Structure 1
Amino acid sequence: METNFIFFVFLLFILSATCQDSDLETDCTNKWIHIRHLPPQFNLDLLSNCSAYPLFDNFCPYLANHGLGQKTHNKSHSWYRTDPFMLELVFHRRMLEYPCLTSDPTHANAIYVPYYGGLDSLKYLYGPEINSSFQHGLDLYDFLVHVDSPNIWSRNYGHDHFMVMARPAWDFNQPLNSDPLYFGTSFLELPEFYNVTALTHESRAYPWQEQAIPYPTSFHPPNLAFFESWVNRLRRSRRTTLMLFAGGGGISANPNVRRSIRLECENATSMSANGTGYEKLCEFVDCSNGICQHDPIRFMKPMLQATFCLQPPGDTPTRRSTFDGILAGCIPVFFEDLSAKKQYGWHLPEEKYEEFSVSIPKEDVVFKGLSIVDVLSSIPRAQVRRMREKVLEMLPRVMYRKQGSSLGLRSKKDAFDIAIEGTLERIKSRLQEIAAQ
């Protein structure tokens, strides 16, 4: 592991030195990005502590393949045991091959800060500095503003800067004067970072700084052939199950949507599916205690056989499973808008949700006894086919293709490409507003 890690660090530095101002044939008008050069304490050094937080997890195995994790099996080309908290690493690696990098910050339309904020938060969330979580980010701010070329920051006071923080924004919004036992850090509450755009797994209801981008899944194809092969498999897949829930929870006696789903699914197994066109009305894949997170085989095969994948909120509104399901060609069923519709506007446009998903208010399920099976089985088959085709159309937008992928696959915009486009547009709009004041 130590040898692999050293090689990884070496390769990362080589790439950062050679990828600047590359691909001059690309039209980079209004797309130039400058990567700020941070000391390794803000990114690479954090990887060397991968086994230091046992209460969180030993994330050393997930550093392989530039954050994609280990392959699911030796002959795999597209499937990895990806941990969603490695998005900062995955994004950094993809940034290094972005075709419109510039070494001149005055020429840039946006400034990328390769800070692994989610990983750096671990020492405050699970480590010895738990009582100092209000200090998360202050050393980074000091470096950006006072140490490394202060004029880069002062030119727009951070409005043109962006970073990736691979946790829900809720984990970074602890009030500065709160009880230190409150879970989270205060990074997004620091006035010093109010102007910076933070790309997170999940944003708050009324975000100023952050924008949610898709959780990374386990599917990272290296070329167009592997991608198209997977899509063809989805089209051939026999959907013998009406609906599926892959997740945990729902065992509490208190009313909640996961409990209602588990009870309905248990009852549905004893009901006849005759007349519905399905062999099973519901399947439950128990993913309690994170047993599915790094083992996509557990849930992907059942998802391939299901028409609808239920995506109820848990500790927070969003789920990685939403994107796993889309990659399986499974139509998502949402129970509140904050699970996706009010989150991923760049990647899953809000006006298109009725074309590829189903919305069922959780209050109707929990308190009014609405049957999810009845709702889903009543949707006409022709409409279901159209919805699944729309899911397949959206698929490239929520996957992160493998770094160094072929030119053919790069013609399809993936989650990274769309995140960069959205960030550039957001920064452009914000700077125009400031100039007009």
Structure 2
Amino acid sequence: MSGARQMQMWKALMFEISLVTLLLFVALLAGSVWIGLSLFATGYILLAIFKPNIPMDIFASGVVWGSMIPTPLLSLPLFILMSEVLVAAGLGRSLFSGLAPWLGRLPGGLLHVNVVGSTLFAAVSGSSAATTAIVGKVSLPELQKRGYDRKLAMGSLAGAGTLGFLIPPSIIMIIYGVVAEQSILELFIAGVIPGITLALLYMAYIALHQTLTGTQPQQEKPTAKDRLKGLRDIGPVAALIIAIMGSLYLGLASVSELAAIGVLGSIIISIAMGRFSLVSMIAAGRRAVRTSAMIGLIIIGAALLNAAFGFLGIPKAIAAQIASFGLSPFVLIAVLLIFYVILGMFLDGTSIIVMTLPITLPLVTAAGFDPVWFGIFVVVAVEISQITPPIGFNLFVIQSQTGEAIGAIAKAAAPFFLILSGFALLLAVFPELALWLPRTLK
């Protein structure tokens, strides 16, 4: 058989496998099967159809349980617990009352509380949905009561809530670091400047919008006493951020130890604010267990599916096909951004990362990009998925708080979607935004 004929048959087989994969996964999701179980079942069925000679019991024991062994994963449930404890402590009200006297007189007024409050909470939570929920629970009613543009209030909260993924400690960065076998501490440090830059871009848009439209309500001039009280309100959060970031930059703790410091600090804050109760702590622990179990199931399912892809040669086939296009590095990144945005319309961030990295990471490293930089790029791409319908988690959080239709919230978030997309491409043009700080602190 000629080489051309063999290549044609190989491509036909790859197309058939890809089609079966897509149909299986979509059918399982449409049947309301959990994402983790859908991933696992898809991988199992693919192997049963195309590689029935592989002993499944040996295969599963090595791949599935091996995916849960990496030590950095120990920090994941701890960071989730820290976030839940802070949510139970009602941190949002303290953030709003503490920031309002300092931000109210800026162009854009109290809308900046959404951004700065999300930035601060992101630095102690690691979760986009939790950041959106805790800040929005207080800020949206307060902004509406004071006459701010409701559409911009919802949009800025949706966009700013995504900072929970980019500013360390970040749950998504931990997932990326484990799957890509990169230093999580280095990823955390790499996310600081991009996170602050993105927050400033959001604030610049809000200020420009309010200045051009002239819709900003009048704000009373805060007194020195108001500002002092504001500092007192945000003081506990600032102390926890300093403890976490200080331990991070000075290399005083591993990622797991950093997470333990965060949990202890969040409990101390809860006690100091007089909001500690055994009932709320038990409820926070239960929510943390549920979230951790969900992420663990996704990791296990994706591990089996990715291993199945490896046995079937799918990553190699896709990489070879893309390489044959001869794309420049920047065009490759632009194509991957579109790819991640489309995936983000249907999948959560954890699933996106564990499913795609075996294919995309070799492509970008071959194109000359740093894997730590790519981690930050992927996190920004996953942030975009938080505000894109039909499955944008930040949109659902805001819907639960406002009762607005998902379409209306997505429309309000559209300018921030564009800012995020532009920022992802800006990272490709100026990779030092992500790489300068970790290289400096090495």
Q: So what's the TM-score if we normalise by structure 1?
A: 0.28
Q: Relative to total residues, which structure has the larger helix share, 1 or 2?
A: 2
- Calculate the TM-score normalised by the size of structure 2: 0.28
Task: Compare the two structures and name the one with the higher strand fraction.
Answer: 1
